[in-house]
Structure 1
Amino acid sequence: MLHLRVIVPREKSDAVRRLLEAEAGVTHLVVWPGAAVSPPGDVMSCDVAREAANTVLEDLRHLGIDDDGAIVLEDLDVVLSRSAREAELAAPGEGADAVVWEQITEVTSEESTISVTFLAFLTLATMIAACGVLLDNPILIVGAMVVGPEFGPLAGLCVAVVQRRPRLAARSAFALLAGFPIAMALTMVFTWLLTWSGEFEKAMLEAERPLTAFIYQPDWLSFWVAFLAGIAGMMSLTSSKSGALIGVLISVTTVPAAANTAVAIAYGDLEQAAGSLGQLLLNLCAIVLSGSLTLLGQRLYWNRTHGSRSRHETLAASRPPAQRWPQAGRTKD
């Protein structure tokens, strides 16, 4: 379930309370009249079944609460309550299938903004991958994949495409278009420094590398792996399965391809640089394509199966609280 906290202007308090009481997927409603100081108003908190979150958030935004007050939503790990179980049963659909659009938009928007931290992680990941490709060491390659933060902007592009958010698309694209060249340029300097110190040499790049040769040899298999990873990555974000996202990060060849491109340019091997750059672009395009299609499919599925309630559910939700809850009250211990 999700926990919702709302700061409501006094003049809208009754409307918001009726809204929350009428929603079958809402429980544990608590109201603190006049408790909010900045912005001033009443404070209401409740727990919301994930399946009902989009409806509640849309209704609150329709009332202008996001402008006049505040809406805070957070995940709950453990909820032990009979009324919570009843709320989840009353809400249409399954929580694992529900996509909370406001939540996924906030997450991707935050991770799609270029920053010093984003550039630092991307640069460090590219440098680690540079060591991996020259040493033909897959362990370093996997480590670089996990460190790389590039999936955030890629997910932001997917959300922007499906929800038609040009600002998010521009911000995500800028993070990628500026982040990778900066990381690659710094990795070239890193390569020259280690070559000067005797740790690297051009022969390492040109030697046979059976474990990492795939990085600069793009093919259709690379496309399909990235395509499938994009689906898994987007589903891990929408369902909050962070463990699955880690698996996605170590299955796509973005950061390693960028690292091999930088090293190849540093040593003047333009043919290998072109192959690595092709691998990078292939992976980026495949992830954005599959991620966008996944989000679109999730939205169409949810709208088709749960977008509108049945007449019985609508009538039940419109009844006053006293008429809706007596049966639940009789089942309590």
Structure 2
Amino acid sequence: MNRLRVLCPEGDDLADRVLAVLTAEAGVVHVVRLRGAAVDPAGDVVEADVAREAVDDVLEQLRALGCARRGGMVLETLDTVVSEAAERAEEAAPGEGVDAVVWDELLARTGQGARLSVTFVIMLTIACLLGAIGVVTNSPVTVVGAMVLGPEFGPLAALAVAAVRRDGPLARSAALALGAGFAIALVVTALAGVGADAVDLVPEDTLTDLSGVEFVYQVGPFSLVVALLAGVAGMVALVAGESSGVLVGVFISVTTVPAAGFAAVAAVLGEWSRAAGSLAQLVVNVVGIVVAGIVVLTVVRATRHDRSRRKVVPDRPPIEGAGG
């Protein structure tokens, strides 16, 4: 369940219309109206608990009423709700909550990760440096550490969301974060490689035995398959709001950051074919993740519209708009 709070400015019947929308929805319970509780903007506050699978429809209707423009809407996740009415609402709402996509929530998550920030660049650079060290030392453990640390899935997911939503600003922000972030990380990693090579920290035979990290620069059909599967898993995790554990597995599956780090090291050592292979691996993973994300979101959107047409409103007693 999700808790929805709507600020309704005084001076018109917005609060009444919000109540009408909420009480008509199958997946909404515990509707409360707090008269005069809002200070800025002054007016009423309407609260309700909404089944996750009904949230997107409710927000869409409230946005059409002008709630986002004139007042404001706040959505938060409820970990535990002990209520038979809430259980009935979840059963009556179309579909399953774990399969539902809340576009505003998804846009908020991916939007934050799609920005070119100092934190993003630092984390991506450190991950690339770790990947480069893993290559130099032929250490798969260090390479996996670089995979986990890399923050690149945020902009990749944002590109998929932007493509499905046809959101140009989000797409440009995500593309800038990826392009500039990887460019800076590659330059810093290459400079670090030059410095390490100058003080003889990089042996001449560094790239002769790479049995433990060959997957970083060797592009094959399974590279695309892994990227597609990882993209599906990552996007499903974001849609379901269960991103922590699943996304770690996604990060370990794809070789975007290690491929970038390897490319920088190989270029410094004059191994241009391997540098090109690493960059190709990077591109394959990026494209595969974004394409998989687009497919997942397209399917989710289509099934959501299908469920909406089959929506059933349960019998319930009328809810008075008084309180507080």
TM-score, normalized by the shorter chain, greater than 0.5? yes
- Asked whether the equivalents of residues 2 and 49 of structure 2 are also in contact (C-alpha less than 8 Å), the reply is yes
> Any gaps of 5 or more consecutive residues in structure 2?
none
1:20 corresponding residue in structure 2: 22
Larger deviation: 10-19 or 144-153? 10-19
The secondary structure found in structure 2 opposite 1:189 is helix
2:246 corresponding residue in structure 1: 244
2:282 corresponding residue in structure 1: 280
Matched, 1:253 2:249: no
Equivalent of 1:53, from 52, 55, 61?
55
State the 1:284 CA deviation: 0.5
Q: How many residues align?
A: 317
- Asked whether the equivalents of residues 96 and 239 of structure 1 are also in contact (C-alpha less than 8 Å), the reply is yes
Distance 2:116 2:319 in 1: 51
Q: Given the superposition, is the C-alpha separation of residues 39 and 201 from structure 1 closer, same or farther in structure 2, using an over 3 Å criterion?
A: farther
Q: Deviations over 1:228-253 (max 9, x none)?
A: 10000100100112211111110001
The secondary structure found in structure 2 opposite 1:207 is coil
The secondary structure found in structure 2 opposite 1:250 is helix
2:236 corresponding residue in structure 1: 235
Which amino acid counterpart does residue 302 of structure 1 have in structure 2?
R
> Any gaps of 5 or more consecutive residues in structure 1?
324-333
1:3 corresponding residue in structure 2: 3
- Asked whether the equivalents of residues 115 and 173 of structure 2 are also in contact (C-alpha less than 8 Å), the reply is yes
Distance 2:89 2:297 in 1: 26
RMSD of aligned C-alpha atoms? 1.6
Stretches of 4+ aligned residues off by more than 3 angstroms: none
2:217 corresponding residue in structure 1: 216
- Asked whether the equivalents of residues 145 and 255 of structure 1 are also in contact (C-alpha less than 8 Å), the reply is yes
Distance 1:197 1:265 in 2: 17
Distance 1:74 1:42 in 2: 19
Give the alignment's TM-score, normalised by structure 1: 0.91
Which amino acid counterpart does residue 119 of structure 2 have in structure 1?
T
2:296 corresponding residue in structure 1: 294
The secondary structure found in structure 2 opposite 1:238 is helix
- Select the structure that is richer in helix: 1
Q: Deviations over 1:107-156 (max 9, x none)?
A: 11111011001101100111111111111111111111111010000000
- Asked whether the equivalents of residues 22 and 321 of structure 1 are also in contact (C-alpha less than 8 Å), the reply is no
Q: Deviations over 1:169-197 (max 9, x none)?
A: 11111111111011010111122233334
- Asked whether the equivalents of residues 8 and 72 of structure 2 are also in contact (C-alpha less than 8 Å), the reply is yes
- Asked whether the equivalents of residues 31 and 319 of structure 2 are also in contact (C-alpha less than 8 Å), the reply is no
Identity percentage over the alignment? Answer: 46
Give the alignment's TM-score, normalised by structure 2: 0.94
The secondary structure found in structure 2 opposite 1:8 is strand
